[in-house]
Amino acid sequence: MRTIPSELVERYEAEGWWTRDTIGDLLTRGLDAAPGTHFCVHSDVRPWSGTFRDVERVARRLAGGLRARGVGRGDVIAFQLPNWMEAAAVFWASAFLGAVVVPVVHYYGRKELGYILKAVEPRVFITAERFHRMEHQPDLSAHVPVVGVVGRDFDDLLSADPMQGNLATDPSGPALYAFTSGTTRAPKGVVHSHQTLGCETRQITERFPPDMGRQLVTAPVGHFIGMVTAFLVPVLEGTTIDLADVWDPGLALKLMTSDGITVGGGPPYYLTSLLDHPDFAPSRHLPYMKYAGLGGAAVPTAVTTRLSGLGITVHRSYGSTEHPSMTASLHTAPEDKRLRTDGKALAGVEVRLAPDGEILSRGPDLCLGYTDAALTEHAFDEDGWYHTGDIGVLDEDGYLTIADRKADFIIRGGENISASEVEEALLTMDAVAETAVVAAPDARLGEHAAAVVRLRPGHTLPTLDEVRAHCAQVGLARQKWPEELHQVPEFPRTASGKIQKYRLRQDLAVRGGDE
C-alpha cells in the first residue's frame, strides 16, 4: 500500500472525514433506520421485489453460513453477478463479516475473471449460472474453497439463523478491491479501506439535489460507482433501491411514467440514448429528468448544452476508481461552470496541476493503492499525491476542466492533437450521436486522427469531405481534422460506460489505416 503522510491522517481524522465506523457499521445503522424501504429489481430474467429488511435477512443468513465455513474478517469474498438482489446480499454479508469484497463486472469474460481471481485468491466466489454473455466456468474458480451459484446452489450457503451484529475490524484496513474498467490494459485492483469508502459514500450523498426522486441504478454493481450508488448511498439516505440488470432506454422511459422512476445521471451515453429513443416524449418524460449528474466518461459541451436546452439541470463531476470524487459542480453552481467544467475540488480534497498539465490529487476518499505494488509505486508519490494520467486546466475560480488523457493525445508529425477537442467539433454535427477520436497509424506522420461515430436514428454517415468541411466551419485547425472516418452501431464500453478506445486503436492498427 502507499504511504499516507501522518499529517494527512491526522487532518482527515480531526476533520471527521475518517471515522472509526466500518462499512458494516454504516450499513447496520442505515438498515435499522429504514427496514421497510422498498428494494426492487427490474429484470426479465430475475425480477425481485421486497424491502431492505428482506434483503438484510438474506445477507445475514449468508454471513452466518460463510462464518460456519470459516470465513471471517480480512478474508476475500468475490462475486460476479448482474444487478440482482443476491449481489446486494453478498456485498452486505461481506461488510457484516469484516471481509474484503471484490465485485467483478458481470460481463467480464474468461480472461478478465481469471486474472482477477488469480490476483486476489478469494475464500469465496459467488456467481450466476448464466446471464447473457456471462456463463459460470467452474475451472476458473476450482481453487476457491467456497463457491456459490445463484439459481443453482446459492441458497445452500444460507444458514437457518441470521448472523447478528458485525465482526469487529480495523476501519483503516482494506474493505474493497475494485478492479478498474480496463480502458488501456488489464484490470487494476484498486484497494479502498472502510474509511475511504465511507468517506466517498458521504461525498456522494451530500451533493445530491434534495428533489432527485426515485433513482434507477443500471450501472453494473460489479463496477465501483454502480456498487456505491446501489448498495451504500440509498441505505445511508433511507431511499429506495431500484436496479435494472441491463441498460435499456426503452425500459427506463417506461418506468418513468409507470413508477415515477428516473435516471439522474451517469455517463453522457445514458442520457443521450434516452433522448434519441423513439419512445421519448418531452411532455411525458422531461418532468422525470430534472437533473443530469454527468461523469464516468468524457463530457462533451455539445451534450451538456443539449440537455440544458431541454430544461435539465446539468452538473458534472470528475473522479476515478482510485479517487472517486475529486471535483464536482453542485446543481446550484453558475450554469457556465456546470456545463463547461468538471467542477471544483470537493471538501477535504486537494487538486493541483503538474508542470505538464497532469492532474494530481489527494484526499480522504483516495484509495490505499493497488493490489500490484509496482502500480502503487508508479501512481503515488511520497507526499500522498495521486498522479491521474489526465490533463486538465484550472480557471481563476478553481474549476477544473479535463482536456485529455496523456495517452489520448494523437501525435501527428510531432504535434500533439487533443482527441477531445476534435470530438467536441464532431458532436456539433446533426448526424453524430457519439464519437471517439483515436490515433491511427500513419506511414508518413506516425499517427493521424481517426474518427469513429455512432449516428443518430434516421441519419446517414457523412462523407469524410463533409466532416472536414464542418471542422473548417467550426474553426478547427486543419492538422486536427480526421483523416479516417468509421461508423459503428455501438461502441465497446467499460462497465462505467466509457468507450474503450484501446479496442478502437487495435482495430485500426489491424486495418493498417487502409480504409
pLDDT exceeds cutoff 80 at 104: yes
Q: What is the mean pLDDT of residues 56-69?
A: 98
Asked if pLDDT for residue 296 goes beyond 80, the answer is no
- Residue 488 neighbours by CB under 8 Å, 6+ apart: 452, 453, 454
The reply to whether CATH 3.30.300.30 applies to domain 413-511 is yes
Average pLDDT over residues 482-510: 87
Reported confidence tier of residue 515, pLDDT bands at 50, 70, 90: very low
pLDDT attached to residue 297? 65
User: With the C-alpha atoms ordered 220, 222, 224, 229, is the resulting torsion angle positive or negative?
Assistant: positive
Percent of the chain at pLDDT exceeding 90: 78
Residue 433: predicted pLDDT:
94
Q: What is the pLDDT of residue 313?
A: 96
297 closest CA partner among 163, 435, 417: 435
Confidence of residue 185 (pLDDT cuts 50, 70, 90): low
CA–CA dist 153, 65 (Å, integer): 13
pLDDT above 70 for 181: no
Nearest to 147 by CA among 157, 133, 162, 134: 157
Residue-wise pLDDT for 308-357, tens only, equals 999 999 999 999 999 999 999 999 999 999 999 999 999 999 999 999 89
Q: Is the pLDDT of residue 68 over 60?
A: yes
Q: Residue 156: what pLDDT?
A: 98
Percent over 70 (pLDDT), the chain: 97
pLDDT computed for residue 184 by the predictor? 44
Q: Are 267 and 239 in contact (CB under 8 A)?
A: no
Q: How confident is the model at residue 444 (pLDDT cuts 50, 70, 90)?
A: confident
DSSP state at residue 126: E
Q: Name the residue among 227, 182, 233 with its Cα closest to residue 506.
A: 182
Give dist(CA 112, CA 79) in Å, integer. Answer: 13
List every span in the chain annotated with CATH 3.30.300.30: 413-511
Mean pLDDT across the stretch 156-169? 97
Say what the pTM is: 0.86
183: pLDDT strictly greater than 50: no
The yes-or-no verdict on residue 116 having pLDDT over 60 is yes
Say which residues have a Cβ less than 8 Å from residue 369's Cβ, sequence separation at least 6: 1, 2, 191, 375, 376, 379, 380
Average the pLDDT over 286-300 and give the result: 86
In a 13 Å sphere around the CA of 344, the CA atoms on its Cβ side amount to 13
Closest listed residue to residue 376, CA positions, set 189, 512, 227 = 189
Q: Average model confidence (pLDDT) for the chain?
A: 92
Rounded to an integer, what distance in angstroms lies between the CA atom of residue 312 and that of residue 399? Answer: 21
Note the pLDDT tens digit of each residue in 232-285: 999 999 999 999 999 999 999 999 999 999 998 888 888 989 999 999 999 999
Average pLDDT over residues 36-54: 98
Residue in 361, 285, 356 with CA at minimum distance from that of residue 318:
361
Q: Which three cell numbers stand for residue 346?
A: 470537493
pLDDT at residue 513 in the model = 42
pLDDT at 182 over 60: no
Domain with CATH 3.40.50.12780 in the chain: 18-201
- Of 190 and 497, more confident: 190
Residues in the chain: 515
Asked whether the predicted pLDDT for residue 499 surpasses 50, the reply is yes
- The pLDDT of residue 42 is 98
More confident residue, 212 or 140: 140
Cell of 234: 440509498
Residue 66 or residue 111, greater confidence: 66
Cell numbers linked to 213 = 426522486
Residue 87: pLDDT band with limits 50, 70, 90: very high
Whole-angstrom Cα distance, residue 130 to residue 109? 12
The yes-or-no verdict on residue 438 having pLDDT over 70 is: yes
The CA distance from 71 to 351, in Å, is 40
18-201 is classed CATH 3.30.460.80: no
Q: Is 177 a residue whose pLDDT tops 50? A: yes
